[in-house]
Every structure is written in C-alpha cells, then in structure tokens.
Structure 1
C-alpha cells in the first residue's frame, strides 16, 4: 500500500514517513502541488496525506480536481492554520480526516490505515460549499478538538449536547453547527430554559391553544414550531423543570408535539442542540434530571474548555475582540506583547465572556491607540477589588495568585523567587503560630527538614520567638 505525502517541512515529513513505514506503507514524499500532480499522474496511491500551506499554493483549494480525478483515493489533510474555517474547508473537500498541528503521529498512522480500509469513504464529506465560519476563535489543542467535533455533525441531524462552564461560548458552537450545516437556510431559535418561569415553559416550547389556561386569549406557536426546518437550541437544559423534561423526552422520541390544551399532533422537522453548565449525572442521581432524557440529548457531546485550559488562545481572542469593538464604533486599539502576556496570566473565571467584556472596556478607556501594560493594570486591579470573595466563601488560591501577580510589576527572572517567598511567609507564620514557635513541630507539620525550615525562616526574616511570645 502506497501513500503520497505532500509536506514541505522536512522534520515533520521524516516523522510521518517513519510512522507510516512502521505500519507497512510505502511512502512517497513531495513538497509542492506541482510535484503532487506529476506523481499522481504517473502512479496509483492508496491515500494522499497533504499539508495546506505549500510553497506553490493552498493544498485545500486544489483538492477538488484531485478528488474528481481520483475519487477512490482517501485524502487526509494536515494544517497549522488551526481555525474553524480551515477545519470546515477541509471537510468540504470530502477529506477522510483533518489533523490540526501538532497532532498524534500514531493516530495519524491509524487513520491512514482506516481510510484505506474503507476505500476512501469520505467520513466527513459534504456536497455543497459551506460558506464562512462564525467567530469561534482558538488555535489551542482543546479548541481543535471542538472544531473537529463540529465538522462531524454538519452533515447530519444528530442531537448535540454542549457542555461547559458559563461564558465559554456554548451558543457560538450551536450557531456554528447551524450556520455551517444542512439546516442553515432555516431559522435558529435559541431558548434559555432557565429564564422561563416553570409554569410557562411548556407553552413557550410547545405552544398553546386559545383558552388552554387563564390568559390564553389566542393560539400561541411554540419554539419547536418556530424552528421548523432549522435548529432549536435549548440552553441551560439542566435547569428545565421535571414536567417539561417529560414532555421534551416524548417529543424527541415520537418526533411530534401537542400544543398545551390541543388535540392535534404536529410533526417535528427540527434539529435539537442542548447546552448546560452543570454536571447532569449528579442531577440524575438526585432525581432532578431524567436519565432517559440525558441519553436522548447526549448523542454527540461537545465539551467547551474553560479559558484557563486554553491560555494560548487568550492573545488571539483579545485581538479578535479589539477588532470587533472597532467594528462596533469603539476606538481602534492595538495590544502590545507585554499587555497580551498580562492578560494570558489572568484566571478569567467568567471565561471568554469575561475576557470580551474586559477588552471592550480597555478599548473604551485606554488613552492611547496602543494598549500597554500600564493601561491594563489599573483595570485589572479594579476588577480584582470588585470580584473579592463574598463573606463566608472559601478563598480561591488561583485568584489570590492572579491578584498578587497583577499588583507586583516584577522584573523578568524574579517572579518565581518573589512568589515563593510571598507564599511561604504567611504559611510558615501560620504553622509557627499553631505550634507556639516550636520549629521541630512546625517542620514535622510542613513535612520538611528542620534545617531547611530554619534556613528559610532566616531568609524570610521570620523570628520564631515572636510566635513563642504570642502563644
């Protein structure tokens, strides 16, 4: 079995070739589109593995002719342009798989074997151009997993459950699936099930007939019918009342709904995407969420990572939001590398939504076109004060470290030593206070050598006698 590898990065090509040859493939490598076309014309290949950005052109743009000429040959695309748009363009070519760099080399080798074994069946194939992607921004490995999951559900109507903390962009994922998928010509109806009073949620979702209850003075069409031929996005599904869960389950099972107070059933033609910021399994154990509904919704789960798990995306997200702010009439700003690094170090407990709001404030309040560290620090300090822990809650060490770093303005190369001293000083003081200044007991409590403790106390200018006197 022979594989044609189109890759102009020699180091990557060597690793890929070794992995494929270990699987028993014969690998022919070239570096340009012109060489690719010449080799394809002269030989038969079991699979094509190609990069996108090549010296003489875009590997995706030219794949249409390759697919037409060699329809049985599976294509696997590699790319360092790790955006949703690239992932969608790759799937639009009929590619068997798309791998954002860096990728697992063993997974690539397994995928090549699988692709050849299925005779080039385009697992991610589509027939129509998809258009532009939505502003789901990120090049981190976790976001690449999200992009790849999105591409897998564009050409089907499988129910999707999007999981993630508040502010991570769950609705953006739902919109992307709708706008890039088969139902993009239909409506996208979003419903926050947590914002609708429990007594009205069935009417909102399924509609009601005139006279169905007090105040029902006319027929009301529910969200399911409004979303006909399109997508219904049920946000905060974990907060849906149990009675509404039962009716939703029945609708998903039967493909029909009945308006409140009605007799006739209405056939459904809608894709369901649900989202929640809660862990549904404990709710199931507590009897607050139906297990059968969970399995109906959780056909294709997509996990949206919190921003603290994709810090590499913070810089590109911040610059993206500055562009959005400018398009909405705010002053056009630029972010210095130092300012971007400060943003990257923050915890962003409100995730992407918090970062977006902060960047918009920066765009509005910054005095200069270029936003530097001096512009960022005052706003961060203000936010840290406003976000202080409420009385009675446990302190958040991550947030404390973030606030400390924000306030220090430390020189490069001094951060670790200063942070270690800032942490050890109150820690040692508290333990010495508890042990009445007894260094042996303090060392045992801390789990360190007594001489190490004595040395650090001296370096930190902490006098154990002070704690003896206080006790």
Structure 2
C-alpha cells in the first residue's frame, strides 16, 4: 500500500489480536540485518512474537539474502514474519529487482491496503477515533460538525491515514471550540478549500488501483495455484460486459453516443452487444 495507508498499524493489529499479543512486537530495517548476529539478534528480540520488516521492497540484495537464510533456519519458537512495502513486490520480482526466493517465502498471505481516497466511508470513523484518542491523551475533547466531516470526506489525503491522523491532532490542539467546523479544517489543510475529487488523471489512477485490487483478490482466491490458462481474454471479456452495459445506460441507450464514448464504431458495438448477449431493452434499441 501507499505511504501512510496504515500498513504498520495493521501489522500491529494482527499482533495485538492474536495469541502472540503478550509477546514482543519488533519492527526491523535493513540495517538491523547486518553484523555477525543481525538475524539471530532479531529473532532473539522477537522471542516468538511478531517480526515486521518495514518497506522490504527497499532492502538491498544482501539484506534480502540474509532474510532468506534466516527464514530457512527458523527455530521452533519462531516469530510471525510480516513484511510491508509501498511497491508491488510481484512486479519487482518479475523485473528482477527483488529476490524471487524471498518473494515466494513471504507471499503466503498477501494484503493490499487501499489508499484513503479509495475508502472515503472510513474517513469519518477514523477521524472520530483519532479525536477520541487525543481526548484520552489529555487534549480537550473535540467533535466534527457536519460541514467539517464533509470537508474531510472530499479531501484527497495524499498522505493517507498518517496525514489524517496528524491533521486531527493539530485540530485537537488549535480549534477554539469543542465542535470543529469546516473553516478550521480548511485552515489546517493549508488555508485552501478542501478540493473536490478531480476528473482525469486522479480518477484514472483510482480506477486502476481498484481494478488491481480485484485482480489480486482473484489470484489470491486460487490459493497459490495459477488460474486456468486464457486469463487475458477471460478478464477482458468479463470487464467488457459491464463496461458496455454501463456506457449504454449512461447514454440513455443511444448506441451512436455509446460507441463514441467507448471510442469504437457502431458496427463493433452492435457485434459486441450480440457476442456478449447483452439484453436489449426499450432504452437500448439496436440501430
């Protein structure tokens, strides 16, 4: 997941809600692997708890090799191993930028943490959680008014959960009233109105990320076994059907407009409607 999406928090939650919660939780960087007792020292510190390799995609080849050797010789009381990365390790492995043997040793269970802008429904819940936690830490108890909640819902949060957390902490300190309004939110975010979602590149990026998550889930459901052959054509066909149906609905069933929207000619659209067995309704008359 992207920087700030909460990967480390999720790793901590996995530890805290497991039967290892009373054992150590250790976060390691590449530097912790070097030296005579590097890997052994990490295992000793973790003592059967949880050992997290933070941003493992940035580890050099030597550090990756040390982890491979450590994983191949784990003791019986070995800690749970978790690795986080901003980058797609499968792509890095395919490009020869990450060790294949380490990738397969780590990929038993893979979790993709979406960017905060892709889970807008979580933003008010997270904001309430952070404000409540700040109150427990001794700050004045604060809540968000409806207009403030609307402002944070529409902000893109490039820094993800970490940025939201820091913003709410600043508001807990600086907001003059117990109820935080939109003006305070906008001032804290840089004295600019909270931007609305933009068309174009940002939307395309979100769409690509959403498709990527669904494809990754499809692969994960096969339990480490490759899907049946012919995946490329099968995926394109399954994506093509809802795309054409939604485009037809968006254009009121006007196939000329739909073809123009999709960037294909009308004969091609008609053939696809037939091939994909798209049911023709009164709003979708064939030309």
Scaled to the shorter chain, the TM-score interval is 0.5 to 0.7
Question: Is 1:178–2:15 an aligned residue pair?
Answer: yes
Looking at structure 2, the residues matched to 252 and 343 of structure 1 have their Cα atoms a distance apart, in angstroms, of: 43
Bigger CA radius of gyration: 1
Q: Where is the helix percentage greater, Structure 1 or Structure 2?
A: 2
After superposition, the C-alpha distances for 1:204-247 in whole angstroms (9 at most, x for unaligned) are: 9735xxxxxxxxxxxxx621221122111111011111012112
Looking at structure 2, the residues matched to 205 and 241 of structure 1 have their Cα atoms a distance apart, in angstroms, of: 18
Residue 363 of structure 1 deviates from its aligned partner by 1.3
Q: Any conservation in 2 of the 1:165–1:306 contact (CA below 8 Å)?
A: yes
Find the counterpart in structure 2 of residue 236 from structure 1.
55
Q: Any conservation in 2 of the 1:204–1:223 contact (CA below 8 Å)?
A: no
Pair 1:357–1:165, CA change in 2 (3 A): same
Question: Is 1:250–2:69 an aligned residue pair?
Answer: yes
After superposition, the C-alpha distances for 1:321-356 in whole angstroms (9 at most, x for unaligned) are: 111111222221111011101100010011110001
Looking at structure 2, the residues matched to 330 and 377 of structure 1 have their Cα atoms a distance apart, in angstroms, of: 21
Number of residue pairs matched?
199
Find the counterpart in structure 1 of residue 219 from structure 2.
none
Q: In the alignment, which of 284, 287, 295 is matched to residue 104 of structure 2?
A: 295
Q: Any conservation in 2 of the 1:167–1:351 contact (CA below 8 Å)?
A: yes
Pair 1:348–1:269, CA change in 2 (3 A): same
Find the counterpart in structure 1 of residue 89 from structure 2.
280
Unaligned ranges ≥5, structure 2 = 195-199, 204-262, 264-287
With a CA cutoff of 8 Å and minimum separation of 6, indicate the structure with the bigger relative contact order.
2
Pair 1:244–1:305, CA change in 2 (3 A): same
Q: Where is the strand percentage greater, Structure 1 or Structure 2?
A: 1
TM-score of the superposition, structure 2-length normalised?
A: 0.63
Residue 307 of structure 1 deviates from its aligned partner by 0.4
Looking at structure 2, the residues matched to 205 and 233 of structure 1 have their Cα atoms a distance apart, in angstroms, of: 18
Find the counterpart in structure 2 of residue 202 from structure 1.
34
Find the counterpart in structure 2 of residue 320 from structure 1.
129
Find the counterpart in structure 2 of residue 359 from structure 1.
168
Find the counterpart in structure 1 of residue 177 from structure 2.
368
TM-score of the superposition, structure 1-length normalised?
A: 0.39
Pair 1:204–1:317, CA change in 2 (3 A): farther
Question: Is 1:335–2:141 an aligned residue pair?
Answer: no
Residue 320 of structure 1 deviates from its aligned partner by 1.0
Residue 254 of structure 1 deviates from its aligned partner by 2.9
Pair 1:336–1:205, CA change in 2 (3 A): farther
Looking at structure 1, the residues matched to 84 and 54 of structure 2 have their Cα atoms a distance apart, in angstroms, of: 5
Looking at structure 1, the residues matched to 9 and 190 of structure 2 have their Cα atoms a distance apart, in angstroms, of: 30
Looking at structure 1, the residues matched to 165 and 112 of structure 2 have their Cα atoms a distance apart, in angstroms, of: 20
Pair 1:383–1:206, CA change in 2 (3 A): farther
For residue 47 of structure 2, give the secondary structure of its aligned residue in structure 1.
coil
**In the TM superposition, what are the counterparts of 1:49-448 in structure 2 within 5 Å?**
164-193=1-30, 196=31, 201-203=33-35, 206=38, 222-255=41-74, 269-382=78-191, 398=202
Looking at structure 2, the residues matched to 246 and 232 of structure 1 have their Cα atoms a distance apart, in angstroms, of: 17
CA RMSD of aligned residues (A): 2.5
For residue 190 of structure 2, give the secondary structure of its aligned residue in structure 1.
helix
Pair 1:185–1:225, CA change in 2 (3 A): same
